[in-house]
Amino acid sequence: MRVLAAMSGGVDSAVAAARAVAAGHDVTGVHLALARNPQTYRTGARGCCTLEDSRDARRAADVIGIPFYVWDMADRFHADVVDDFVAEYAAGRTPNPCLRCNEKIKFAAVLDRAVALGFDAVVTGHHARLGADGLLRRSVDEAKDQSYVLAVLTREQLDRSMFPLGDSTKAQVREEAARRGLAVADKPDSHDICFIADGDTRGFLAQWLGEAPGEVVDAATGAVVGSHTGAYAYTVGQRRGLHLDRPAPDGRPRYVLSITPKTNTVTVGPAEALEVSRVRAERPVWTGGPRPDGPLECEVQLRAHGDVVPATVELTADGLRAELRRPVRGVAAGQAIVAYRPDPGGDVVLGSATIAG
């Protein structure tokens, strides 16, 4: 097949491209330039989408022996990922920008362009498995598994995707990169949010949304216990940085329980008040088989690298409902809920939806 290898400049995508070549595919490498001003994005060990990454990707393509191009998708990335990130926080939700980038950029914009150019599929370095049956499964390396952020992909997108690393651990990928003479073999993984250069999410949002002073309210008493300069700076489950004016009567820590943009209020309370047993979600994507007619027993994951919880899931006319077998704390609107079916060949992704507020 003629495939396009998305090369981020990291070790995973370099080895994925090399494996695609070794499998006999006609491979072309492409690096996505996502920053309008690369100087404002993270650099070095915490990097992603930087000039350094572009150079690393080009060197890897040279070693592998494949053509290499850079595609400028900065405007599309800004509109679909950065603007969406800001808007979600302004609405009191907690988005996952990596999930949105996969959905809107790597497997929508890139795949659409690749198909238009005559490519059959896109290969990436995600740690997930896509078997002969076309079903998406967890990686064998649970610590690096990325099926959660890929669960938003449609059946059509998965049919044109390749994930060559799903049967390998990260250590094995690095060892292979070293054997192949790839300079990125020991390059650290990227961390945090690529488009927030200093890692200060609150400061980044303040630049876009400005200061919006409001009250922090105790859920039990309704008393005002503090103030904030923007409710967008908080997320459900947060404990640190609340700056409360008075301690709780019981002396126990307080956590963010909810954010209400309409009144610009942050509500806090004890840890047990964070427990959720029912989840309502919207915009479901179902790829793991026929759409179920009724309740389905499965397992769900409510945030990246979060706990997996047994649940009863039911698709509705306007979304998805999940009854959790045990309570989960810190569930925030805007995150994804992903349903899995335990399988001897690796947990199968059934589908995903976005947790509603």
- Annotated binding residues, as ranges? 6-13, 32, 125
- Residue ranges of the alpha helices (H) in 279-339? none
- The contacts of residue 240 (CB under 8 Å, 6+ apart) are none
Q: Give the CA distances from residue 303 to residues 102, 161, 237, 355, in Å, rounded to whole numbers and listed in that order.
A: 15, 23, 12, 10
Q: Give the CA distances from residue 330 to residues 21, 95, 311, in Å, rounded to whole numbers and listed in that order.
A: 43, 14, 17
Q: Which one of the listed residues 49, 98, 101, 298 is annotated catalytic?
A: 101
Phi, psi torsion values for 74, nearest 5 degrees: -60, -45
Longest dimension (CA), the chain: 67
Is there a catalytic annotation at residue 101?
Answer: yes
Is there a catalytic annotation at residue 98?
Answer: no
Residues placed in the known binding site for ATP: 6-13, 32, 125
In the beta sheet, which residues pair with residue 340?
299, 349
CB of 209 within 8 A of CB of 232? yes
- From CA 123, how far away is CA 283, in angstroms rounded? 26
Q: Which of 5, 20, 113 is nearest to 68 (CA)?
A: 5
Q: Which of 18, 1, 16, 23 is nearest to 115 (CA)?
A: 1
Look at residue 224 and give its three-state secondary structure.
strand
Q: Which one of the listed residues 48, 49, 98, 194 is annotated catalytic?
A: 194
For CA atoms 285, 201, 12, 26, the dihedral sign is positive
For CA atoms 76, 79, 84, 89, the dihedral sign is positive
If residue 165 lies in a helix (H) or strand (E), which one and from where to where? Answer: none
The structure tokens 């105790």 sit at 218
The residues annotated as belonging to the active site are 101, 194
